[in-house]
Amino acid sequence: MSDFGSFCLLLGLVLAVYALIAALSGAARKQHRIVRSAEHAALAASVVIGIATASMIYLLVTGDFSVAHVANSTNRDLPVFYKIAALWGAHDGSLLLWVFVTALISGVVIFQNRFRYRDMMPYVIAVLMLNLAFFLILNLFISNPFNQLVQINADGSLQRFVPADGRGLNPLLQYWAMVIHPPILYLGFIGFVVPFAFAIAALITRQLGDSWIRTTRRYTLVTWLFLGAGLMLGAKWAYVVLGWGGYWGWDPVENSSLMPWLIGTAFLHSVIIQERKGMLKVWNMILVLLMYLLGVFGTFITRSGVVTSVHAFADSPLGDYFLIYMGLVAAAGLYLIIDRLPYLKSERPLDSVLSRESAFLFNNLILVVSCFAVLWGTMFPVLSEWLRGTKITVGPPFFNNVNIPIGLFLLLLTGVGPLFAWRKTSVESLRKAFFWPGILSVAGCLALIGFGVRNLYVVTCLTLCVFVTVTIVEEFFKATRLRMKGSGENFLIALVNLTLKNKRRYGGYIVHFGVVLIFVGLAGNAFNREVSQTMAIGDQLRIGDYTLKLVDYRESDTPNYISGTTYFEAYKGGKLLKTMKPEKRFYKSGEQQSTTEVSLYSTPKEDLYTVYIGPANDGRSFEVKAHVNPLVFWVWFGSAVLVFGTLVTVLPDRRGAFSTPRASLDRSPAFEKSLKLK
């Protein structure tokens, strides 16, 4: 089966290279049949890579320990659920998942657009296949998950080796969110290849009108959704599994996921300006190029070993290949952008400095600077060692101090943006627009100070949250009332119809509201409390308004791990709230790692978070840690609202989600050129 898997990958590579050459050849000769052949080859490549992935899952589930990846990431007693997740438990398997997701996305895009963009699609196919071929080459020749274990005999000859059991899956990955987090995150990382492929195709064919950007925006939105959901699932995993009481540690790999998300956010805003005004064409091209490169950079960070991270695959030899590939892509992309500058001129000037267009430009600036700050902090230790030979650490204090002010400014713009009209806003209309948001946010600020909140960042953040919320509510309220007058619908129906009729705009506001809720949750960090204590049965621990009484301790033995569970009765004001059961697991396989399983009592106001660290040295007590983390609930709830808002935005319309206006489809390159160069 392992040879079959390798063969499928090799066949996939041959098909991808054929599709790449055929697509370019078909475009050069204007032979539609050759392009069709490229499409079929690309789809076939997706299918055989799917079969290769399925064969690896089969090897994992059946426990074929002759295969190195299976022996390194599973063991006999691992539940089937986690045996499947072991596909991405080591870097060669995770690269196979990357290749599979790349092939899947490429196949879907080529199939969906088989009757559209006939001039651009050959180049789209070529870019998608180039990207696929690069990762396939790495997966086949550098990190092949189907490689078999061999041992070296005394005479120097090699002999196949099958261990009695595998080393098991990293215990930290044995959590439900970790089973879905990597595939979702990969969809987010890899999906940015689609806008990149369309951008390159548009540059090559000089079809730089609206059609490619409309399609690109939708794919970007879906990708952005997956990346955001992946980030949040990762944060949830860190919160519940790592046991340090937080959910975001500014780890280099976390940062590498955040960066393309930030640039994607910038693009989703600036693309609106291009669609409405024909402006920012060069800027959008640069953002698309950055999104793709940062997606590849994310996997470079994970696999190169240049930075230390809890997520990184330390033994990966792929760093240099990624650097060369990223360098070539960046050079080719920039060359095309510079060469096509005459076609990328703005169609219209700005009408006024005081306009929504200007607000969007500043929003883009803040998002890009925020991305730069994260990149700078992530790579600064490497830079410091390279330039000065000094090893330093850039951790959470740096990222918090730099990104909190930038984030607050971004939050302000989230609220201010909708108050500006398109084209031009008069000072009088601004005064009116700012009135209620201004009044209510000042009232909120005074109330916070009145309640004793003194932390400057927290007061600013929550005041801005009030401001943005009021602007969003006002937007919905005014437009709904207008619709009620016109249609006679009741408020609720008018609200729903308004949102569905203009999903992009009102879905966007829902996303903004989700962001506000996440900021509310982040503000709670300033009030986190924690207590560590060594406790015997019957002892009590006090933290905030809570009392935790240790009432029991039990051990259990499963085929996969041995666990010790402490039982705490959590009281507040003398009332029993919950019996909390933080647990410590010692896994039997491999390096016999241990993990903590925290126990939570979560309310919208705060989380009571308990961790059983382990038995104390006296042999009869237990080391425990308790945290009270205010407002964390709103981070998860806000994330759910953000996902809901994005889903509203990408809901298919009557023409179909990925349809494009007929007029834009029918434009020939010459017509586009004449339009743009007038």
Partner 1 sequence: MKKTALALLLVLPLSLAIWAQAPRDISREYKEACDRLICQCGCKEQLSVCSMQNCSSATPMRAEIRERLLKGDGVEAIVDSFVARYGKQVLSAPTLQGFDLTAWIMPFLILCLGTVVVGWIVVRMVRPSRAAAPAPTAVDPRVERELEDFEEES
Interface with partner 1 (CB under 8 A)? 242-244, 246, 249, 276, 279, 308-310, 346, 348-353, 358, 361-362, 365-366, 368-369, 372-373, 376-377, 380, 384, 387-388, 390-398, 401-402, 406, 421-426, 428-429, 433, 478-479, 482, 501-502, 504-505, 596, 611, 613-614, 617, 623, 625
| 8 Å CB contact between 273 and 280 | yes
Q: Which is nearer to partner 1, 74 or 471 (CB)?
A: 471
What is the C-alpha to C-alpha distance for residues 323 and 325, in angstroms, rounded to an integer?
A: 5
Minimum gap (Å) between residue 485 Cβ and partner 1 = 11
Q: Which two three-digit tokens encode residue 82?
A: 């986690």
Minimum gap (Å) between residue 457 Cβ and partner 1 = 16
Minimum gap (Å) between residue 615 Cβ and partner 1 = 8
Residues forming beta bridges with residue 622, ordered by sequence position: 535, 615
Minimum gap (Å) between residue 656 Cβ and partner 1 = 15
Q: Which is nearer to partner 1, 205 or 596 (CB)?
A: 596
Q: Which is nearer to partner 1, 257 or 403 (CB)?
A: 403
Q: Which two three-digit tokens encode residue 352?
A: 């006024």
CB atoms within 10 A of CB 429: 14
Instruction: Identify the DSSP state of 67.
Output: B
Q: Which is nearer to partner 1, 66 or 429 (CB)?
A: 429
| 8 Å CB contact between 59 and 1 | yes
Minimum gap (Å) between residue 395 Cβ and partner 1 = 4
Q: Which is nearer to partner 1, 29 or 501 (CB)?
A: 501
Q: Which is nearer to partner 1, 330 or 402 (CB)?
A: 402
* Torsional sign, CA 64, 65, 70, 74: positive
Q: Which is nearer to partner 1, 98 or 313 (CB)?
A: 313
**CA proximity to 352, closest of 426, 295, 435, 281:** 426
Q: Which is nearer to partner 1, 69 or 585 (CB)?
A: 585
CB atoms within 10 A of CB 446: 12
Minimum gap (Å) between residue 463 Cβ and partner 1 = 21
Burial of 11 (0-12, 13-18, 19+ CB in 10 A): middle
Instruction: Give the DSSP H or E segment for 389.
Output: none
Minimum gap (Å) between residue 102 Cβ and partner 1 = 30
Q: Which is nearer to partner 1, 157 or 617 (CB)?
A: 617
**CA proximity to 257, closest of 291, 281, 209:** 291
Minimum gap (Å) between residue 345 Cβ and partner 1 = 11
| 8 Å CB contact between 64 and 1 | yes
Minimum gap (Å) between residue 471 Cβ and partner 1 = 13
Q: Which is nearer to partner 1, 88 or 360 (CB)?
A: 360
**CA proximity to 208, closest of 288, 148, 126:** 288
Output b/e per residue, 163-173; b: 16+ Cβ within 10 A.
Answer: eeebbbbbbbb
Minimum gap (Å) between residue 176 Cβ and partner 1 = 21
End-to-end CA distance of the chain: 61
Q: Which is nearer to partner 1, 342 or 661 (CB)?
A: 661
Query: Among all chains, which residue has been given the structure tokens 């409309």?
Result: 214
The DSSP line for 543-575 is: ETTEEEEEEEEEEEE-SSEEEEEEEEEEEETTE
Rg, the chain, Cα only: 27
The DSSP line for 194-253 is: HHHHHHHHHHHHT--SHHHHHHHHHHHHHHHHHHHHHHHHHHHHIIIII-SS-S----HH
Minimum gap (Å) between residue 458 Cβ and partner 1 = 16
